Each structure stands twice: as C-alpha cells, then as structure tokens.
Amino acid sequence: TEAAQTAHQLPNEPGDVAPERDLFSKFDGLIAEREALLASGVRDPFAIVMDEVKSPTLAVIKGKETILLGTYNYMGMTFDPDVVAAGKKALDEFGSGTTGSRVLNGTYQGHKECEDALREFYGTKHAMVFSTGYQANLGMISTLAGKGEYIILDADSHASIYDGCAMGNAEVVRFRHNSVEDLDKRLGRLPKEAGKLVVLEGVYSMVGDVAPLPEMVAVAKKHGAMILCDEAHGMGFFGPNGRGVYEEMGVEDDIDFVVGTFSKSVGTVGGFCVSNHPKFDVMRLVCRPYVFTASLPPSVVATAATSIRKLMHAGDKRAHLWENSRRLHGGLREMGFTLGTETPQSAIIAVILKDQTQAVMMWQALLEGGLYVNMARPPATPAGTYLLRCSLCAEHSSEQVEQILEMFRAAGTAVGVIG
C-alpha cells in the first residue's frame, strides 16, 4: 500500500531538522533538570521496577524486600484468592482479550456481570464500565457538557478531569480548591438558563483531603447544576457500604454521576460511571472514549466483579485501614513531620518536604531502608509542593505500621527533615 511504502522509506537516522523545529526542544528544560538531579547520584523516583510482588504490601526492588506504602491497593484485593481464581477461570474460558469495542464485539457476559455488581454495590439503576478510570472521566465530562454549557471544577482536580474538559466543547470555570464560597460566586456569574456540570472529587489524591460535599452540593443545587463526583480514592472504605465520601456524608441522592476506577480499592484496572439518570444509557452511543477503544479483557472484568462483590462485606478490613491511617498520621506528626492534613482524612497521608532535593533524598533514604512511597512533584501537586505520598492498605499489619514509623524516623533524622 501507499502507507507501507512511505513507512519503508523513512530514514533510520533522524534527519537534519533545525533545532528550533525539533519538536522535542520544548522538553529541554525538563530533560536538563532530570539529568542534573540524576548526576547528583540519586535514584530515579520515576523509574522504579518491582522485580517481585509478594503481597499487597511487600515487593522486591533491586534485590531488597520492601514494604509498599505507595500503591492504590487500599483494600489489598490484588492477591485475594477468590479474585485471582475468577481471573484465571475467565482467562481459560474466554481467552486473553475481546479485540473489540463494547458497542461491537467487545461486550461479553463478564462485562454485563461486572456492571451488575456495580449497580448492586452503588444501589443505582445504571452502570457503565470503561477501559480505565482516566477514560471514564474523559468520556463523561467531554460528553455531558457541550457547546454553550459549563463545567465548573475544583482547581486541584485530577488530570483526567482537566483532560475531559479539554476534549469537550463546554466553557470551563475553575474554583479555589474546596472553597464553597468560591464555587457559589463563580456559579452565580454564569447565565441562569445554561446547562452546568459541577465536578468534584470525594478524596483529593495528592494531599488526601476530603471535599465538603454537603455544602458543595447545596450550592450546586441552588444554581441548578448537575454534579459529577469522582470517588476514585474513596471507594471501598468510606460510607456504610464503602461507596465513597458522598455516601459517608449523606449526599447520595444529590450526586447525579459517580465516576470511579478499578485500579485502586478494586485491585485491577478499568473505570466506570454509575447513575440513576433515566437517559443514562444513551452514553453508550455518544461517549467516544467508551465507543472507540477496546473493552477490558474477560479476566479483568471477572476479577473486578468478584472484588466489588467482596468489598460489599469488607467491614473489618475497612476498620483496620482506618486504624492504620490514624496510627501513621499520629506517629508521623509526633515525630515532627509536616503533613498535608491536620487530621487523618483518608488512606492517603502526604509528608510535605522543603524542596525537590530534600524530597528526593528522603524518598531515597526510605527506599534504602526498605520502604517504598510515592514521590510527587508539581504539576501533579498543588501550590508547587514536593511531597511523599503514603497510601495505606487494609493488609498492612499493625506491626508493619510500627516498622514504617521507625523507617521514617531513621530516614528523617539522617536527611535532617526532623530533629
């Protein structure tokens, strides 16, 4: 074909593009910054390889057994025997992949069962499974609000929410993080008759703080806006049924769309949106990130459905996760670390460092001591902060949490973060 011939003719070596026309030149600053950092002898926080994963809380990294405190495995479902068995069975019976879109050949019995499990878990009429949580936000946000309509989002929203806005045609308005007053003010400036979607998150993932949902919901309703809440980091352990912060705070009847992911408490990969809106199913025809991509492999939807059903009865695990969060927060605070929140608000505890150098030194000292945490930096973090994000798991034993605290004490003292 013509395309094949063109490809064949591409030179093996880059041509002589003038430096100012090299499309990579815009990344020169970042490349130089990274090279300078690595030249100082530190390990690259963004190039970690897990050589072996022994459990939700233990891995081997460069030959060293390491406690995992930087995963999204909040409920520790990744090695649950029922979950693993369901995945193996589906792999045997339905093969490795669907090779097609949900709207063509890519809807199997397993996808329907997974949506049934979600409907039951959330007590909603509708559930729609996407291939990732990122695509769920991309699809829902870009499709729900169109030309002449408005999306009003928290300034600290996740990248997938921002990207959903960028992909659609609605006007985008940001309000100050978690500020009910600013949300009210900005909604008040918009045309009354226009359609509006307020996008919130139950837990904000960088610092681990929760949104004041009842107040936000009241303001959004006052201005006639619909509400989408991303519960990625709240599913599994907030609320009596583990639905999320919106359940815990008693605003279930007021949220129009809940978006979530299988990549955190559920322990696999995939995304979803649940809703009671009577017209919700039309989304399956008009939502491009749902239509124009392959559906999840049968093994993945089988593990997700099994995990979701088990999460409905995970009260003990939930209680232990909260115990872990309170102990780690209290212990780190007592040692003198600066934390992202005054109180433990979720399973995420952020340790704020002075600058990039201190953050990387602390991160490396922890890793060498046998503890993995997430390194986070701008633009992912708010207000230019460098932080180490600790995320707890229901499978961390109380002894492991004590071990983790001692590792922080040793690294913090060695690096000079605490006295």
Q: Which stretch binds ligand PMP (CB under 6 A): 5-13, 29-37, 42-50, 126-134?
A: 126-134
How many residues touch ligand PMP under the rule CB under 6 A: the total is: 14
Of 249 and 376, the one with the shorter C-beta distance to ligand PMP is 376
Minimum CB separation of residue 161 from ligand PMP in Å reads 7
**Residue least distant from ligand PMP (Cβ):** 133
* Range 135-138, long-range pairs (CB < 8 A, 24+ positions): 135/160, 135/271, 135/289, 135/290, 135/293, 136/160, 136/259, 136/260, 136/261, 136/271, 136/272, 136/273, 136/289, 137/161, 137/163, 137/164, 137/230, 137/259, 137/271, 138/163, 138/164, 138/167, 138/289
Among the listed residues 143, 160, 299, 391, the single contact to ligand PMP using CB under 6 A:
160
Which is nearest to 128 in space by CA: 142, 118, 138, 143? Answer: 118
Q: At 353, phi and psi to the nearest 5?
A: -110, 165
Of 124 and 261, the one with the shorter C-beta distance to ligand PMP is 261
Minimum CB separation of residue 17 from ligand PMP in Å reads 34
3-state secondary structure 367-416: HHHCEECEEECCCCCHHHCEEEEEECCCCCCHHHHHHHHHHHHHHHHHHC
Among the listed residues 74, 108, 134, 290, the single contact to ligand PMP using CB under 6 A:
134
Among the listed residues 111, 158, 320, 389, the single contact to ligand PMP using CB under 6 A:
158
Among the listed residues 124, 132, 324, 385, the single contact to ligand PMP using CB under 6 A:
132
Rule CB under 6 A: is residue 143 a binding residue for ligand PMP? no
Minimum CB separation of residue 301 from ligand PMP in Å reads 14
Of 349 and 417, the one with the shorter C-beta distance to ligand PMP is 349
Minimum CB separation of residue 136 from ligand PMP in Å reads 7
Bond prior to 378 in cis (omega within 30° of 0): no
Among the listed residues 57, 71, 142, 205, the single contact to ligand PMP using CB under 6 A:
205
Rule CB under 6 A: is residue 295 a binding residue for ligand PMP? no
Of 242 and 271, the one with the shorter C-beta distance to ligand PMP is 271
Minimum CB separation of residue 20 from ligand PMP in Å reads 36
Rule CB under 6 A: is residue 230 a binding residue for ligand PMP? yes
Rule CB under 6 A: is residue 232 a binding residue for ligand PMP? yes
CB 313 within 8 A of CB 236: no
Q: Which stretch binds ligand PMP (CB under 6 A): 53-61, 132-140, 180-188, 312-320?
A: 132-140
Rule CB under 6 A: is residue 267 a binding residue for ligand PMP? no
DSSP 337: -
CB 73 within 8 A of CB 267: yes
Q: Which stretch binds ligand PMP (CB under 6 A): 54-62, 225-233, 326-334, 407-415?
A: 225-233
CA distances from 202 to 4, 235, 247, 383 (A): 49, 9, 10, 20
Task: Output the CA torsion 176→180→184→187 (10° steps).
Answer: 50
Q: Which stretch binds ligand PMP (CB under 6 A): 32-40, 133-141, 319-327, 370-378?
A: 133-141
* Range 323-330, long-range pairs (CB < 8 A, 24+ positions): 323/398, 324/392, 324/393, 324/394, 324/396, 324/398, 324/401, 325/349, 325/392, 327/398, 327/401, 327/405, 328/390, 328/392, 328/401, 328/404, 328/405
Rule CB under 6 A: is residue 374 a binding residue for ligand PMP? no
Which is nearest to 135 in space by CA: 157, 161, 168, 109? Answer: 161
Rule CB under 6 A: is residue 389 a binding residue for ligand PMP? no
Rule CB under 6 A: is residue 201 a binding residue for ligand PMP? yes
Rule CB under 6 A: is residue 66 a binding residue for ligand PMP? no
CB 256 within 8 A of CB 275: yes
Partnered with residue 370 across adjacent β-strands are none
Of 388 and 415, the one with the shorter C-beta distance to ligand PMP is 388
Minimum CB separation of residue 262 from ligand PMP in Å reads 7
Rule CB under 6 A: is residue 137 a binding residue for ligand PMP? yes
d(CA 247, CA 244): 5
Minimum CB separation of residue 56 from ligand PMP in Å reads 17
Rule CB under 6 A: is residue 59 a binding residue for ligand PMP? no
Binding site for ligand PMP (CB under 6 A): 132-134, 137, 158, 160, 201, 205, 230, 232-233, 261, 263, 271
